Amino acid sequence: MFEKISFLSFSSLIRNRSIQNFLFLAVIQSSNVLISIISMPLLIQSIGVDQFGLVNLALSVIILLNIVVGFGYNLSAPKQVATNQKDKEALSHVVSNVFSSKVLLAALSTLFVFVAVFGLNLFQEYQMILVFSVLLLFSEAILPLWFFQGMEKMKLISIANIFSKLLFLLGIVLFIHSPGHSKWVNFMLGLSGISINIFLLTYIHTYLGIRVYRPEFSAIWQSLKDNILLFFSNLASHISINGGLIILSFFSVAETLGMYSLAERVVMVIRLLPPMVFQAIIPRASALYKEDKQSFFSFLRKIHKSIVFTGCIVSVFTYYLAPWIIELLSRSILNEAVEFLRVLAFVPFFASFNVVNVTILISADQRKLMFKASWLMCVFMIFVSSTLTYFFDGIGLCYGILATELFIFLLCTILLYRFDKSLITDFYGITENSDNIS
């Protein structure tokens, strides 16, 4: 009987949409982690630590431009798709307009790179690496992740992501053999992504019956206006989280950039845990916020305890395993990279505290508060990290990144309390009551 009850409990757990979303997102991120772990030592041995740092620096610029390409559609488009799931005509218009918008933004971002490189002679150390990296902009533009999120069909895209990363890994093995090949690294990452995304678009059109319409420029313009706050919020958040390498490039040599890139790669992998949890729970949390505030806060309390505990365990393990991780990835002893990683190891733990605040902001549709918090965090990060990097080089930047994670948690808590103090007091009140009962 107990076995039957356990099976039913496990079965109902797996059928939970939040759990399914998390599991498939975990598959996507796990494949990214695995390929990243495998590719790092291959790249470092093939192109060297200094070129590895420049490749990552170019990738940081492209990822920043990908925020422009995304323009907040990663948050708004899934809702539109979910609303029109049963209306193929309306859904076709949504899909056509979103893809058209993103491709247009990718083209404008590419033009910006070309003007910056060939017209203004910027990014001198890694100009050709950056130019060959623009293919990633178009890979992002036609990535239909938002569509499958809205349709709640994450299985296919998680499998497709694995094949994309395997293609990239195969390209590294076959074609990257010397420092002169560094310009092809990000190019192959973009090419593998585009290849798989074209397959997914074919599936959407052929098997799901989504038609392709001529872009409606009035609808595109309206969506861009509606997403402007989300875009700037995403942009500021990205600069705060991923802008460290760009800041370091103004103060350090290529070898230090390579050391920091290695440590940052590891931390960015484990830091995916908080946003992955957020993406998995936000549909459920948004529904509960409208239907039952008591259940909403109870749900957040459970998530909060789990994510903070998990973040703590991950950070502690990363700290103690830092020498082994760096040696495994680089196949050499890099003490400076170990020092960077040991400080940055606590980024996931600090970031886990703010999952609840961001979930409340999105559930309550407080875009202006999110915009304000994101840009205050961005200004804080740039000022503090630049100052610490100037005086203490790479290790100063690491402490600046940690300070930023703590700052944004405190800032969001204060802003939510000033907006509606019950959003904070009720959450912590539920926690206290629950603890007393237990």
Give the pLDDT confidence of 85-126 residue by residue, as tens digits: 778 888 888 888 899 999 999 999 999 999 999 999 888 888
The answer, yes or no, to whether residue 13 has pLDDT greater than 70, is no
Which region among 22-26, 215-219, 269-273, 300-304 has the lowest average model confidence (pLDDT)?
22-26
Helix (H) or strand (E) holding 72: none
pLDDT above 60 (res 412): yes
The mean-pLDDT minimum among 36-40, 271-275, 432-436 falls in 432-436
pLDDT in tens, 49-64: 788 888 888 888 898 8
Least confident of 35-44, 364-373, 400-409: 35-44
Quote the pLDDT of residue 45: 83
- pLDDT grade for 159, boundaries at 50, 70 and 90: confident
Enter the pTM of the model: 0.69
Greater model confidence, 34 or 295:
295
Q: In angstroms, rounded to a whole number, what is the distance separating the alpha carbons of residues 183 and 166?
A: 19
**CB of 66 closer than 8 Å to CB of 136:** yes
pLDDT at residue 26, as a whole number? 65
**Helix boundaries (H) for 208-334:** 217-226, 228-242, 244-249, 254-270, 273-291, 293-330
| pLDDT more than 90, % of the chain | 31
Q: Of the given ranges (114-118, 244-248, 428-432), which has the lowest mean pLDDT? A: 428-432
Residue 397 has pLDDT above 90, yes or no: yes
pLDDT band at 158 (very low <50, low <70, confident <90, very high): confident
Q: Identify the CA nearest to 349 among candidates 316, 396, 326, 322.
A: 316
CA dihedral 372, 362, 416, 366 (to 10 degrees): 60
Q: Mean pLDDT across the chain, nearest whole number?
A: 83
Model confidence at 19, in pLDDT bands (50, 70, 90)? low
Residue in 177, 154, 175, 157 with CA at minimum distance from that of residue 165: 157
Report the alpha-carbon distance of residue 360 to residue 285 in Å, rounded: 8
Is it the case that residue 435 has pLDDT exceeding 60?
A: no
Lowest mean pLDDT among 193-197, 347-351, 422-426: 422-426
- In the chain, the percentage of residues whose pLDDT exceeds 70 is 90
